[in-house]
Amino acid sequence: MIGGPRAGARACILLAIAAFGVGARLPAQDAAPSVPPEEAADFARRAALAALHGPPKVFLESLDADGILRRLLGSPVWSGLTERQRTLLRTVVREHFAQALAPVADASAEVAWASVADSGKGPVFVDLGLRYGPSVLKTRWTVDHTPRGPTISDIVLVDPGISLAGEVGRLLGPEPVRRHDAAQQARARALPRVVGFLAILGIALVFGRRLAPEKRRVLWLTAAVPALLFLVDGALAVHRALSEPYALVESLPPQLWRQPEKLALAAQKDGRTEAARAEWDNAIAAGAPAGPIYYQMGLAARARGAPSEAAQYFERALSEVPPAPGAGRELASAALTDGRLAEVRSLLQRYLREAGPDPDTLATLAVVETGLGDTAAAVATMQTARALVGENWKKAELEARIYARSGNAAAAVAALRPLEGEGKLDRAVLRADPAYLSIATDPVWVGFLAEPSR
């Protein structure tokens, strides 16, 4: 019978997650009263912390597993399932979501930032940055209003464009539930139990005639136990068949693209570029959605120092349906390296519209707007970025990074100085932070780092 998925990737390895595939988007939901934005953001943040640190029950109960399955299977089918069948399907949904977000054992994890978008009605979208060690996974949580309160109806891994609810549909396959002939199923389930019962009865009759009366009584008592088990099991099986108009598939369908994906990732890790490319093509041919895979191939090409090839893959990732939004940010990064500031701003603005805000992208955009001479826009972008990160010391760090990227060492130092009095300044960490590379040789920055810690 259906069990939970066992091959979920850990979310802290973004490259492996990006290879997973996105699945079809779920049908749109009817408009419903919206959860207040502040309540939605708080609810999503608590659920995310539970996914990262536990208790897992808090996260699992926050998921609208019933709603996800109702949209995937259709309301008539979902209503026709027994509670036992619904429980099995809920387990598939919950395990898939939990495994996708769970950190690697002993790795640090936290909610780095949060943003909320309220449409005024219907679901509220909460963007959360989940930090796993040095990496941040950008996620979008869909918070819906239900009779039991706010629930999570989907979580999207934003940059590769992976909907976890949509992935459930791919995991269950095209026909996870099918209508069956209840009477025929009852007969099929009853037959082997009846045969077993009759076999025990026949054996007891044959051997009982040859035994003395006192031993015959022992034989009958011994045979009565398995015979009764056959009868009880048969009655339960028949009752279940007659009460279940639908049958679940015995096992989850094979996902033929998983093996090529694993081989492709292994080939990339070993530097076997052509082998990795061939396996990615095999994965797409086997049914994996192309957007996240082209995004993954672009990241790999960029990592091995092939910017032109990376750009081609990122452009293909953006043109797929659904696209991988993170490819737009990667193209913007390449354009920034070449000094094409107007193109960078256009790409980043598109990315923010499609993927929602995050501090790093906003910081880069603020630097670009400064370079283009649009000071007012840069200030507004910086304020938006500061609003995402919460605590004042984190806002100061973000502001310092923005100034550093624009080459303004004096402003970066001025932003960081108040942190020393709060015990939040670590010059050793600053020396190793690549965000400050652009001002690493500036005398103001060098002098600041050389000051003794207080």
Mind giving me the DSSP string for 356-416? Answer: ---HHHHHHHHHHHHHTT-HHHHHHHHHHHHHHH-SHHHHHHHHHHHHHHTT-HHHHHHHH
Residue 146 located in a structural domain = yes
Statement to judge: residues 210 and 145 lie in one domain: no
Residue 215 above 80 pLDDT? Answer: no
| Most confident listed range (132-141, 170-179, 245-254, 393-402) | 132-141
Residue 77 located in a structural domain = yes
pLDDT for the residue numbered 25: 40
pLDDT for the residue numbered 24: 38
Residue 13 above 50 pLDDT? Answer: no
| Most confident listed range (126-130, 397-401, 450-454) | 126-130
- 20-24: average pLDDT: 37
pLDDT for the residue numbered 155: 96
Q: Could you tell me the pLDDT band of residue 174, with boundaries at 50, 70 and 90?
A: confident
Residue 322 above 80 pLDDT? Answer: yes
Residues paired with residue 402 on neighbouring β-strands, in sequence order? none
Question: Side chain identity at 71, as an amino acid letter?
Answer: R
Q: Give the residue, 46 or 205, on which the prediction is more confident.
A: 46
Minimal CA–CA distance to 197: which of 218, 217, 226?
A: 226
Statement to judge: residues 168 and 193 lie in one domain: no
Q: Taking the CA atoms of the chain, what radius of gyration do you get in angstroms? A: 29
Minimal CA–CA distance to 46: which of 147, 162, 126, 135?
A: 126
Residue 106 located in a structural domain = yes
Tokens of 92: 């598939």
Residue 250 located in a structural domain = no
Statement to judge: residues 226 and 368 lie in one domain: no
pLDDT for the residue numbered 30: 47
Looking at every residue in the chain, the average pLDDT score rounds to: 82
Q: Could you tell me the pLDDT band of residue 3, with boundaries at 50, 70 and 90?
A: very low
Tokens of 106: 């002993």
Write the CATH number for 99.
3.10.450
Residue 227 located in a structural domain = yes
Statement to judge: residues 207 and 88 lie in one domain: no
Ranges 46-50, 112-116, 393-397: which has the least confidence:
393-397
Domain range enclosing 80 = 14-178
Residue 427 above 80 pLDDT? Answer: yes
- 178-195: average pLDDT: 66
pLDDT for the residue numbered 45: 94
Q: Give the residue, 449 or 243, on which the prediction is more confident.
A: 449
Instruction: To the nearest 10°, report the CA torsion of 120, 321, 330, 432.
Output: 70
Q: Could you tell me the pLDDT band of residue 106, with boundaries at 50, 70 and 90?
A: confident
Q: Could you tell me the pLDDT band of residue 15, with boundaries at 50, 70 and 90?
A: very low
Q: How far apart are CA 145 and CA 121, in angstroms?
A: 10
Write out pLDDT tens, residues 282-309: 999 988 889 999 999 999 999 889 999 9
Q: How far apart are CA 63 and CA 48, in angstroms?
A: 11
- For residue 202, give the DSSP letter: H
pTM assigned to the model:
0.74
Minimal CA–CA distance to 32: which of 122, 95, 117, 130?
A: 122
With H, G, I as helix, E, B as strand and everything else as coil, classify residue 137.
strand
Statement to judge: residues 167 and 18 lie in one domain: yes
Residue 246 above 80 pLDDT? Answer: no
Residue 84 located in a structural domain = yes
Q: How far is CA 378 from CA 209, 370, 382, 402, in A?
A: 99, 6, 6, 10
Residue 26 above 80 pLDDT? Answer: no
- 347-366: average pLDDT: 92
With H, G, I as helix, E, B as strand and everything else as coil, classify residue 27.
coil
Residue 444 located in a structural domain = yes
CB 21 within 8 A of CB 292: yes
Total number of domains constituting the chain: 3
